[in-house]
Amino acid sequence: MPGPWFAQLYPDVAAANGLATALHESAKRQGLDLNGITAASGWPTSAVLAREDRAASVQLGSEERCFIIELRGRAVALSSGTYPELDVTAGVLHWWCSGTTLTDLHRRYAFMSASSLALAYEAGTEVEAKWRSLREAATGEVRLAVEAAAARPVLRGLFPFLSHQTVCFSRCTVYPYSKDVPAIQPLGGNRFRVLAPDGRTAASDITAEEAAGVVVSHLPPD
């Protein structure tokens, strides 16, 4: 059970015997729909709601009154925010799980985040957005590897990401990423190694352009 802070900071939630019930009752008072909301793992301090490809979760802050909200779509965390009011939190969950776009939700509730990558996920353009952000942010040898890979159309169709300064590629855009594509690892001195999916070295001490070519030649069949 939660500590003394629960009743002190959230008397309305405590009176409803838990967050899920409190949110459901708040929604009913406002003419909103949170049917199906449940306590996460049975805890009175958290709540979850899932509909089709969308989900929302809420937790209570323990040091100050704030409802910690996370929204997911297609199994990807797309937006988060905190707010001190129960009724507003219920509104966020209702509109999100009713199919409101992230742009419109952010317009209605400015405290909910709406990053460019999250908007791209919602639009189905996350691969292009991820390449763009990676090319803008990469520096040094990582940038050389990213640019060499981006010059290969077949690699540009994969979802790129960095892991310990190694340029990786995935055939899916949600975590856990696919683990069947080689990766490019900088070695220093503008030389690179290509790591096979099993961690073995497929090629080493080569240029970024050569490394990109090795990755292409070792791609799994479609």
Strand order in the sheet with 191-195: 159-163, 166-170, 183-188, 191-195, 201-206
**Cis before 4 (ω within 30):** no
Q: For position 59, what pLDDT does the model report? A: 97
Q: What is the pTM of this model?
A: 0.83
Q: For position 143, what pLDDT does the model report? A: 98
Q: Which residues of 63-82 are buried (b: 16+ CB within 10 A; e: fewer)?
A: eebbbebbbbbeebebbbbb
Q: Give 34: exposed, middle or buried? Use CB within 10 Å, 0-12, 13-18, 19+.
A: buried
Rounded to an integer, what is the distance from CA 17 to the centroid of its chain?
A: 31
Residue 208 has pLDDT above 90, yes or no: yes
Q: Give 22: exposed, middle or buried? Use CB within 10 Å, 0-12, 13-18, 19+.
A: buried
Top-confidence residue, 176 or 192: 192
Q: For position 1, what pLDDT does the model report? A: 73
Residue 221 pLDDT grade (very low, low, confident, very high; cuts 50, 70, 90): confident
* Cα–Cα distance, 48 to 93 (Å, whole number): 9
E strand or H helix at 116: helix 116-123
pLDDT digits (tens, 9 = 90+) for 107-159: 999 999 999 999 999 999 999 999 999 999 999 999 999 999 999 999 999 99
Q: For position 74, what pLDDT does the model report? A: 82
Q: For position 182, what pLDDT does the model report? A: 98
Average pLDDT over every residue of 6-10: 96
E strand or H helix at 65: none
Nearest to 90 by CA among 51, 58, 52, 54: 58
Q: For position 75, what pLDDT does the model report? A: 84
